[in-house]
Amino acid sequence: MRKLRRLALADRTVRLRFTALYGALFLLSGVGLLVITNLVGLGSRISSPAQIPPGEPLTLGTAQELIGRLQTQLSEIEALQARQLLIGSAVALAVMAVVSVVLGRIVAGRVLRPLRTITATTRRISADNLHERLAAPGPDDEVKDLADTIDGLLERLEGSFAAQRRFVANASHELRTPLATMRASLDVAVAKPEPVPAQTIALAGRIRTELDQVDRLLEGFLMLARTQHGALSDRARLSLGRVVAAALIARAADITAKNLTVHDDDVHDGAWTQGSRTLLTRMADNVIDNAITHNHDGGWIRLTTTADGATALLVVETGGPVLDQEQVARLAQPFQRLGTDRTGSSNGSGLGLSIVAAIAAAHGGGLDLRARPEGGLRVAISLPLASARAGVAA
């Protein structure tokens, strides 16, 4: 019985349903066409044929004349019936064409509704919400088989993304130990009582610089992996203006060393957002670090925080040479840099703005990078706006 039931369910495919629906529509159209044609035909009236005048004797000439008139009337009646049938068929065809199009659209919409649902859900699923599934209801047909196949693909993609992020985080964490050991060994070698050659001290300094660069790179890996993993544990409401102000104060020495002019008159407390305090602080730090590092001596930085509708906006602009927009757009990807022709410096690992983009995306926002027409770079971060009253309470 179970085997027969499975075979019966297997026959309930989309092809069978399409066959039944289209067959019913064609049958309905044919019935409607016949009904309309018959109604038009019954509505026509045919005049009675010629009759013999009462009291007039029937002679051979009269009979021949009567037969001729009857033949003429029959020919006219046949022509009239043919015209009426043609007109009735045309009217019935036009009516049923409109009815068939309307019914076909309705039926096609009902049949394709599961496919539209699958398409909309698939478009909504991205790397940030691979845990979602289609879970299409209904009988075991081709549509459900397609939905189950997509669910299996999403499950495999989710596992691959999770494994990749775990590998990056674990590798970055494990590499910190040998780096610390190498740095300690350098310190011990340089701090020996006996005189150390100048070449050794210079080499130790260069190695420390490279170790610091690798350490910053690993820290960037850890932050990127944490952001992409969606770990937002310390959620709070905070003001972008206050976060930016704190980042500027922490980097006052670097700004003074480069003799940079900071225009922060448009940094206000009105742009409140909600998210991880650690990640949002790191986002602002990276943007300002990027503006300081990739800037010329005596340059300028302009910062703006605004609340536009339902969006909190942070804009950081810097001066400099005219940049290529196509190259600027790639800066949000890891390890993408414009080179020394932009600032005359090769500092940086190429992860700063990619971390900013990942943090903004994790909070439901985005990063927009634009090359300023008059030269320099414009970095705009948009985040969902939170109420200022709630931010003050937090």
Predicted local confidence at residue 126, as pLDDT:
67
**233, pLDDT greater than 80:** no
What is the mean predicted confidence (pLDDT) over 353-358? 86
* Percent of the chain topping pLDDT 70: 77
- For residues 102 and 346, give the distance between their C-alpha atoms in angstroms, rounded to a whole number: 66
Of 214, 197, 174, 363, whose CA–CA distance to 280 is shortest? Answer: 363
8 A C-beta contact, residue 239 and residue 271: yes
pLDDT in tens, 77-101: 777 777 777 777 777 777 777 777 7
- For residues 171 and 188, give the distance between their C-alpha atoms in angstroms, rounded to a whole number: 27
Residues comprising the chain, all counted:
394
At 347, the pLDDT band (50, 70, 90 cuts) reads low
Predicted local confidence at residue 247, as pLDDT:
92
**190, pLDDT greater than 60:** yes
If one compares 31 and 238, the residue with the highest pLDDT of the two is 238
At 318, the pLDDT band (50, 70, 90 cuts) reads very high
For 8, half-sphere exposure in the C-beta direction (CA atoms, 13 angstrom radius) is 5
What is the mean predicted confidence (pLDDT) over 296-317? 92
Measured CA distances, 236 to 154, 178, 279, 358 (Å): 31, 36, 11, 18
- For residues 165 and 222, give the distance between their C-alpha atoms in angstroms, rounded to a whole number: 9
Of 334, 333, 335, 339, whose CA–CA distance to 321 is shortest? Answer: 339
> Which token pair is 198?
């100048």
State the sign of the Cα–Cα–Cα–Cα dihedral 201, 206, 209, 215.
Answer: negative
If one compares 393 and 117, the residue with the highest pLDDT of the two is 117
